[in-house]
């Protein structure tokens, strides 16, 4: 299916990201090899200039990755019009073994690029650049992931065959009992919703508590709670995607058999998926970013900088979490108020 507009767009976007990634990796190698904070040589001045370039390249890279994530979902939706058995993007993603892994790696890449930029922002606020080596090692580690992302995406596109019958969301995510062929239904819906709202309440409670602690205690005391808080955010992200797929989406579509996490970004559903996923992604990034920042707070001069970041990120994550809960709960609530059966 390479001869398709969306496939070409995805490949062009990947080649753009690869160019940015490889160029920044080149800068990273030079910086790791020759960086000397105390030197006053022309090479050191040049390397300091290269940090600007690598940061710009990574910012572009993050933008490209975000763009490419949306593009992949829209491409899958378009492919579904050509694949036998597929009625939406879910069917197109499961048409071969590479679709879901490609999507997963792309989401991971978006978060990792964001964490790198976070480290870079923290680093720039300290005169001694305490994170230079760490962040450029991380940058080099991102390159293999970028290659995996591109390879999976290419394999997915190359392996799509319009004449191979695939299964769609109604089959994959249905609450069936005995066919053993659904992806996300090991627990009952009430259990899943309990987990979803319990985690949300825990995050709100912990967020308020940590916000108060920031001004009262030293970093060492906050280290473990902040790590736990970040892990809860990561878990909440997974549970949210799960809940959107098998519970909230069917209320948005007003159709019990339609359980697709991708169609909600379509015009027919007022593009509700965009604010829903945007708030979830940004809130998760800020929440887990607090944990990432906490890991480097012990470095020289970073404590006040990390404190400032966390003091902004924690309330922002909470506000976004509340907006996400309101957006996701709106459709089921409207259904119940209108007299629907629970």
Partner 1 sequence: MTLRQRLQRQLNLLDYALATLWRRKLKNFGIVVVFTVVVFLFGSLQLMNRGLTEAAEAILKGAPDITVQQMSAGRQVSLHQTAGEEIEKILGVAKVVPRIWGYHFDEANGANYTIVGMNHDGQLSPLAEGRYPETGSSGEVVISREVQKSLDLGSRLSFSLFRPDLSMKSCTTVGMFGTHTGPVTADTIFMTMADARDLFQLGPHLITDLLVYVANPREIDNIAGKIASKIPGSRVITRSQIMKTYNVVYSWRSGFGGICLLASLVAFVILAYDRASGLSREDLREMGILKILGWQVGEVMAVRFWESVVVSFTAFLLGYGFAWVHVVWWQGMLFQPLMLGWSVLRPEFRFVPSFVPADLLLLFSVSVLPYLAATVVPAWKSGMVRPDTVI
Q: What is the binding site for partner 1 (CB under 8 A)?
A: 2-10, 12-13, 16, 19-20, 23, 46, 49, 52-53, 56-57, 60, 64, 67-68, 70-71, 74, 77-78, 81-84, 162, 267
**Nearer to partner 1 (CB atom), residue 83 or residue 292:** 83
CB of 67 to partner 1, least distance (A): 6
Of 63 and 224, the one with the shorter C-beta distance to partner 1 is 63
Burial 251-287 (b: 16+ CB within 10 A, else e): bbbeeeebbbbbbbbbeeeeebbeebbebbbbbbbbb
Q: If we measure between CA atoms, which residue out of 125, 33, 114, 28 comes closest to residue 66? A: 114
Q: Least separation, in Å, of the C-beta of 96 and partner 1?
A: 16
Ordered alpha helix ranges (H), 268-302: 273-295
Phi, psi for 3 (deg, rounded to 5)? -85, 70
Rank residues 196 and 281 by Cβ distance to partner 1 and give the closer one.
281
CA gap 284, 216 in Å, rounded: 25
Distance CA 317, CA 229 (A): 12
Separation between Cα atoms, residue 207 and residue 229, nearest integer Å = 8
Contact 154, 74 (CB under 8 A): no
Which residue lies nearer to partner 1 by CB, 49 or 205?
Answer: 49
Residue placing its CB nearer to partner 1 in the complex, 72 or 192:
72
Q: 3 or 337: whose CB is closer to partner 1?
A: 3
Closest separation between CB of residue 146 and partner 1, Å? 14
Name the phi and psi angles at 289, rounded to 5.
-60, -30
Roughly what angle, to the nearest 10 degrees, separates helices 189-216 and 273-295? 50
The least CB distance from residue 24 to partner 1, in Å, is 10
- Give the nearest distance from C-beta 232 to partner 1 in angstroms: 29
What's the first-to-final CA gap in the chain, in angstroms?
43
The DSSP line for 46-57 is: HHHHHHHHHHHH
Tokens of 113: 């690029």
Of 71 and 296, the one with the shorter C-beta distance to partner 1 is 71
Min CB(14)–partner 1 separation in Å: 10
Q: How far is the CB of 144 from partner 1 (least distance, A)?
A: 21
């Amino acid at each position: 299916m390479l001869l398709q507009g969306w496939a070409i767009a995805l490949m062009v976007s990947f080649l753009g990201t690869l160019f940015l990634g490889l160029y920044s990796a080149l800068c990273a190698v030079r910086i790791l090899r020759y960086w000397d904070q105390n030197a006053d040589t022309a090479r050191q001045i040049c390397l300091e200039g290269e940090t600007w370039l690598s940061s710009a390249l990574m910012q572009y890279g993050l933008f490209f990755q975000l763009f490419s994530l949306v593009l992949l979902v829209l491409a899958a939706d378009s492919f579904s019009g050509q694949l036998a058995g597929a009625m939406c993007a879910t069917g197109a993603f499961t048409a071969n073994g590479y679709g879901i892994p490609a999507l997963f790696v792309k989401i991971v890449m978006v978060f990792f690029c964001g964490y790198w930029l976070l480290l870079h922002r923290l680093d720039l606020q300290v005169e001694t650049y305490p994170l230079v080596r760490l962040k450029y090692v991380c940058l080099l580690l991102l390159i293999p992931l970028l290659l995996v992302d591109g390879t999976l995406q290419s394999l997915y596109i190359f392996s799509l065959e319009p004449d191979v019958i695939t299964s769609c969301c109604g089959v994959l995510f249905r609450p069936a009992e005995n066919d053993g062929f659904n992806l996300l239904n090991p627990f009952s819906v009430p259990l899943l919703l309990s987990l979803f709202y319990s985690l949300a309440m825990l995050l709100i409670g912990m967020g308020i508590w940590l916000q108060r602690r920031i001004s009262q205690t030293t970093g060492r005391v906050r280290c473990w709670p902040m790590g736990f808080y970040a892990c809860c955010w990561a878990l909440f992200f997974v549970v949210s995607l799960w809940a959107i797929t098998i519970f909230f989406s069917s209320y948005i579509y007003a159709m019990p058999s339609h359980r697709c996490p991708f169609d909600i970004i379509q015009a027919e559903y007022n593009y509700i998926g965009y604010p829903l996923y945007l708030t979830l992604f940004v809130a998760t990034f800020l929440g887990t970013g607090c944990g990432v920042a906490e890991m480097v707070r012990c470095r020289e001069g970073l404590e006040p900088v990390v404190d400032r970041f966390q003091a902004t990120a924690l309330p922002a994550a909470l506000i976004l979490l509340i907006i996400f809960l309101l957006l996701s709960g709106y459709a089921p609530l409207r259904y119940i108020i209108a007299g629907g059966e629970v």
